[in-house]
């Protein structure tokens, strides 16, 4: 053992009999890819708007002149291609797979761009799903991406865990909705991020309220939000609250999310931009 041993084997290059094996499951990005920052978008349960927030963030960052990309890791519920109106299939060459560009130039890879029929269900077990996501990282050629957003598989189970271990994520955003279970769900997501040593950028509450177009009043359809208390408990920031807006679901259904205007995610975009500055 070296005299200067600080027992940090992962950052030490000494040939040493006492070396403790460090479990490293991280996978290498394709050698032709370049991705500066990776942001994972997670939720403790399905259907809270994780894909929507992923899409809106990629669109907002792209509008600011950065090159953004989406890796759709939600393999069993891939809604990203639909929101962007992408009908084509991904292509490949002897070097690897190529993402599809959206109308405004966002690079996208999703299982639906590889399946023959978009409506085919993905009835795969966890390890196969996790393996597919790893391949989206290792076998896809992501050219010159400033910010990649990963629409993570919902929940805090085996698949999201494997994805976090394999892909070098720089920060995560937790999406919630104002419901009773949120406290427990956020705790689980926070715990997972801590275990993986990934910084949490903050919380986004979706479907927070509905603004009635007739009287301009806000109605809390899912009840009062407890997001501030939850954020305080975990020492996190509430970055944004999105309303329920029929124009959002219409934009997703018509594949026109890139045309949707809504500036609720601006505070998130500001923080993400700073991540670029400190790189």
Ligand X SMILES: Nc1ncnc2c1ncn2[C@@H]1O[C@H](COP(=O)(O)OP(=O)(O)OP(=O)(O)O)[C@@H](O)[C@H]1O
Is there a contact between 109 and 134 (Cβ–Cβ < 8 Å)? no
Q: Of residues 62-121, which lie at the interface with ligand X (CB under 6 A)?
A: 74, 77, 79
For ligand X, which is the closer residue by CB, 91 or 249? 249
Dihedral angle over CA of 8, 14, 18, 20, nearest 10: 40
40 appears as a binding residue in the annotation: no
CB of 83 to ligand X, least distance (A): 7
> Distance between CA atoms of 133 and 122, rounded to whole angstroms?
13
Contact region with ligand X (CB under 6 A), list: 49-57, 94-102, 165-173, 226-234: 49-57
Nearer to ligand X, 8 or 119 (CB): 119
Residue of the chain from 248, 265, 268, 272 that contacts ligand X (CB under 6 A): 248
The residue among 18 and 266 lying less far from ligand X, judged by its C-beta, is 266
Task: Tell the smallest beta-carbon distance from residue 96 to ligand X (Å).
Answer: 26
47 is in an annotated binding site: yes
Token pair in block for residue 86: 């992408």
∠ CA 275-189-157, nearest 5°, is 120
Q: Residue 30: CB partners within 8 Å, gap ≥ 6?
A: 96, 137, 138, 139, 140, 141, 142
Instruction: Consult the annotation and say whether 51 binds a ligand.
Output: yes
What is the phi-psi region of residue 49: left when phi exceeds 0, alpha when psi lies from -120 to 50, beta otherwise?
left
* Residue selected from 40, 49, 81, 99 as contacting ligand X according to rule CB under 6 A: 49
Give the Cα separation of 82 and 251 in Å (integer).
10
At its nearest, how many Å lie between ligand X and the CB of residue 21? 36
Q: Which is nearer to ligand X, 29 or 150 (CB)?
A: 150
Residues 242, 265, 268, 272: which binds ligand X (CB under 6 A)? 242
Measured between alpha carbons, how far is 16 from 111 in angstroms, rounded to an integer? 44
CA 240, CA 179: separation in Å to the nearest integer?
16
Is 244 a binding residue for ligand X by CB under 6 A? The answer is yes
Angle between helices 246-253 and 50-63 (to 10 degrees): 80
- What CA–CA distance (Å, rounded) separates 77 from 151? 10
What values do phi and psi take at 240, rounded to 5? -165, 155
What is the distance, to the nearest Å, from the Cα of residue 80 to the centroid of all Cα atoms in its chain? 11
- Distance between CA atoms of residues 275 and 66, nearest Å: 13
- Is 157 annotated for ligand binding? no
Choose between 29 and 108: whose C-beta lies nearer to ligand X.
108
Name residues contacting ligand X, limited to 132-161 (CB under 6 A): 154
Q: Cβ 193 to ligand X, closest distance in Å?
A: 17
User: Shortest Cβ distance from residue 75 to ligand X (Å)?
Assistant: 10
Tell whether residue 11 is among the known ligand binding residues: no
Q: Is the CB of residue 136 less than 8 Å from the CB of residue 26? A: no
State which residue, 141 or 239, has the beta carbon closest to ligand X: 239
Applying CB under 6 A, the residues found at the interface with ligand X are: 43, 46-52, 74, 77, 79, 154, 206-207, 242, 244-245, 248-249, 252
Which residues sit in the known binding site for ATP?
44-51
Summarize the annotated binding site as residue ranges: 44-51
């Amino acid at each position: 053992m070296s005299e200067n041993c600080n027992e940090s084997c992962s950052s030490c290059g000494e040939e040493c009999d006492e070396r403790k094996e460090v479990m490293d499951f991280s996978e290498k990005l394709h050698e032709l890819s370049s991705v500066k920052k990776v942001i994972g978008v997670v939720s403790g349960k399905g259907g809270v708007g994780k894909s929507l927030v992923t899409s809106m963030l990629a669109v907002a960052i792209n509008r600011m002149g950065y090159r953004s990309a989406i890796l759709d890791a939600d393999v069993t519920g891939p809604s990203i291609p639909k929101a962007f109106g992408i009908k084509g299939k991904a292509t490949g060459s002897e070097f690897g797979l190529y993402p599809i560009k959206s109308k405004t130039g966002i690079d996208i890879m999703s299982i639906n761009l590889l399946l023959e029929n978009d409506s085919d269900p993905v009835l795969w077990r966890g390890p196969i799903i996790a393996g597919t996501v790893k391949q989206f990282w290792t076998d896809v050629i992501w050219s010159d991406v400033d910010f990649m957003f990963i629409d993570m598989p919902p929940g805090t189970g085996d698949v999201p865990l494997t994805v976090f271990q394999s892909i070098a994520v720089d920060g995560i955003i937790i999406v919630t909705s104002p419901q009773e279970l949120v406290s427990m769900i956020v705790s689980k997501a926070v715990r997972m991020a801590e275990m993986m040593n990934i910084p949490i950028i903050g919380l986004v509450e979706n479907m927070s309220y509905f603004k009635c177009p007739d009287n301009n009043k806000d109605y809390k359809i899912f009840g009062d939000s407890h997001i501030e208390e939850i954020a305080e408990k975990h020492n996190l920031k509430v970055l944004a609250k999105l309303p329920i807006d029929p124009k959002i679901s219409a934009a997703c259904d018509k594949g026109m999310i890139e045309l949707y205007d809504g500036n609720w995610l601006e505070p998130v975009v500001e923080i993400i931009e700073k991540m670029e500055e400190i790189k």
